[in-house]
Structure 1
């Protein structure tokens, strides 16, 4: 689902409602202090829950001393974030 590779947390699954909680928990468990880049370039399917998961990771990050950024955000997810007025809350790497 998420693996640490080349200094990034690479997401290798759909970011949809059915697995949103598992993705959130997996991402939180893998976070360590310092910059954490979630690479979403391998995400093959996403819905609005992707935005919620990403915001959840951002909210969790300070509890472990991390700063989260995102790379490879799918266009559809960015479009949803813009629609919801949250795009500026998703720092990109």
Structure 2
């Protein structure tokens, strides 16, 4: 399972995306070889972030979809859930949680 770092800020986003993109592709190959359909990212360590983290997660979800997989973000901090709601992208990142009324 991939992990988001403790801090995701706009100044570090380009380098983080390059690293994340590479990791996603490698993980996707393993998941696909095991006949899996879902790739997970753990956000438990994420403490300091700005809205760029939403861009990274949406880009990661798009990449996974292009690779025939679904992205699942686990242990999402409450502040990130709220930021996603404010920006109107929560349903894109966690549709199953919104349908059930749970939090990520």
Q: Give the TM-score normalised by structure 1.
A: 0.79
User: Which of 88, 91, 95 is residue 88 of structure 1 equivalent to?
Assistant: 91
Matched residue, 1:55: 58
String of CA shifts for 1:17-56, please: whole Å, max 9, x gaps: 1111222222221121331111010112111111111111
Q: Does 1:28 align with 2:21?
A: yes
Q: Which one has a larger percent helix, Structure 1 or Structure 2? A: 2
TM-score, normalized by length of structure 2?
0.72
Structure 2: 5+ residue runs without aligned partners?
A: 98-103
Gaps of 5+ in 1: 1-7
Aligned residue-pair number: 86
| Equivalent residue, structure 2, for 1:17 | 10
Max Rg structure: 2
